[in-house]
């Protein structure tokens, strides 16, 4: 649906336009996605495969009761979307291990925003009232990445972490596309959750690690993610992917706050200022794209 068409449906509902209401679930997704790495970071899970499997368990545990309302449909679009997210998350977990949460999240968010913006413009033909503002917003979003990347040296391990975060963002920014293209955003929720679960269980079994503390942390992480997933699917249905997804990626602000204030990943003042500046640019770009 074109953005212009979407606006035709933005009639007042209890005094609030639907496009304004659509921002609320997008912000909800940002809170969830900016925090869902926190439980696993807290317990320092060392085995990524175990963590991916535990995350899948948390995802399906939330999806089962929620889907009682929308139905337990098995849709190819949802299965594909879930598989894309699962692969993206696996790469993100490796990136977090290499460069930390406060650096991974902005890189992942920046590339997710870029690819979702391109899908919306080039494939779904969503329109902006002020295209120049939209372009400026994307430039700001990507410009923030430079500040984040410069907080660490060019060590090969660091570079690998940034590459993994970028690829994760490109893949993850596309995970709602199959469902949006087939108009199955809500109907495909259970299928996408099932795909994430099915992707993770073989990895969990291969890891041969079932420590209760780590499993619990992974399951909580998966539940938090899927709460964000419900929110973003609702938001995309209301305001389109070109606005909803960039707004949801302000999750980086929450992730940076967790990484710096709680986990102390960046301790030098100059590094902290660079991360804050980069996060602010990404946040301002996301805000600008909502009014473009």
pLDDT at 5 over 50: no
Lowest mean pLDDT among 85-99, 193-207, 246-260: 246-260
Share of the chain above pLDDT 90, in %: 26
Task: Decide: 107 and 162 in contact? Cβ < 8 Å.
Answer: yes
Residue 97 binned pLDDT confidence (cut-offs 50, 70, 90)? confident
Give whichever of 53-62, 116-125, 152-161 has the largest mean pLDDT: 53-62
Per-residue tokens: 212: 């209760």
Give the mean pLDDT of 67-79. 88
Give the mean pLDDT of 125-135. 81
In DSSP notation, 110-146 reads: HHHHHHHHHIIIIIS----S-HHHHHHHHHHHHHHHH
- How far is the C-alpha of 30 from the C-alpha of 229, rounded, in Å? 10
Question: How many domains does the structure of the chain reveal?
Answer: 1
Helix axes 48-70 and 189-207, enclosed angle (nearest 10): 150
pLDDT at 76 over 70: yes
pLDDT tens readout for residues 25-39: 989 998 998 888 888
First to last CA, the chain: 17
CA-closest candidate to residue 63, choices 199, 227, 245: 227
Residue-number span of the structural domain to which 91 is assigned: 3-291
pLDDT, residue 104, reads 81
pLDDT, residue 132, reads 84
In whole angstroms, how far apart are CA 181 and each of 24, 77, 176? Answer: 23, 8, 9
Give the mean pLDDT of 52-66. 94
pLDDT at 58 over 90: yes
Share of the chain above pLDDT 70, in %: 86
Predicted model pTM: 0.77
Mapped onto helix, strand or coil, the DSSP state of residue 4 is helix
Lowest mean pLDDT among 18-22, 162-166, 284-288: 18-22
pLDDT at 71 over 90: no
pLDDT, residue 203, reads 93
């Amino acid at each position: 649906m074109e953005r212009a068409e979407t606006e035709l449906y933005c009639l007042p509902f209890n005094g609030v336009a639907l496009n304004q209401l659509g921002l609320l679930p997008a912000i909800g997704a940002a809170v969830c996605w900016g925090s869902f790495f926190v439980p696993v970071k807290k317990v320092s899970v060392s085995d990524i495969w175990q963590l991916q499997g535990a995350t899948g368990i948390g995802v399906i545990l939330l999806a089962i009761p929620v889907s009682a309302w929308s139905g337990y449909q098995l849709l190819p679009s949802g299965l594909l979307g879930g598989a894309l997210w699962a692969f993206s998350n696996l790469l993100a977990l490796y990136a977090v291990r290499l460069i930390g949460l406060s650096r991974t999240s902005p890189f992942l968010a920046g590339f997710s925003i870029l690819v979702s913006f391109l899908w919306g413009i080039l494939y779904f033909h969503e329109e902006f009232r002020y295209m120049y503002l939209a372009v400026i917003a994307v430039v700001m979003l990507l410009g923030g990445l430079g500040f984040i990347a410069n907080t660490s040296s060019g060590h090969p391990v660091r570079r690998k972490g940034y590459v993994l975060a970028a690829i994760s963002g490109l893949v993850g920014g596309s995970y709602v596309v199959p469902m949006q293209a087939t108009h199955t955003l809500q109907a495909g929720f259970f299928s996408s959750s099932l795909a994430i679960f099915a992707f993770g269980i073989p990895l969990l079994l291969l890891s041969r690690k079932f420590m209760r503390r780590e499993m619990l942390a992974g399951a909580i992480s998966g539940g938090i993610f899927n709460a964000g997933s419900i929110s973003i699917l609702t938001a995309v249905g209301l305001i389109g992917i070109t606005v909803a997804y960039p707004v949801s990626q302000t999750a980086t602000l929450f992730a940076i706050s967790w990484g710096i204030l709680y986990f102390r990943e960046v301790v030098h003042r100059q590094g902290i200022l660079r991360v804050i500046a980069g996060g602010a640019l990404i946040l301002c770009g996301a805000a600008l794209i909502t009014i473009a």
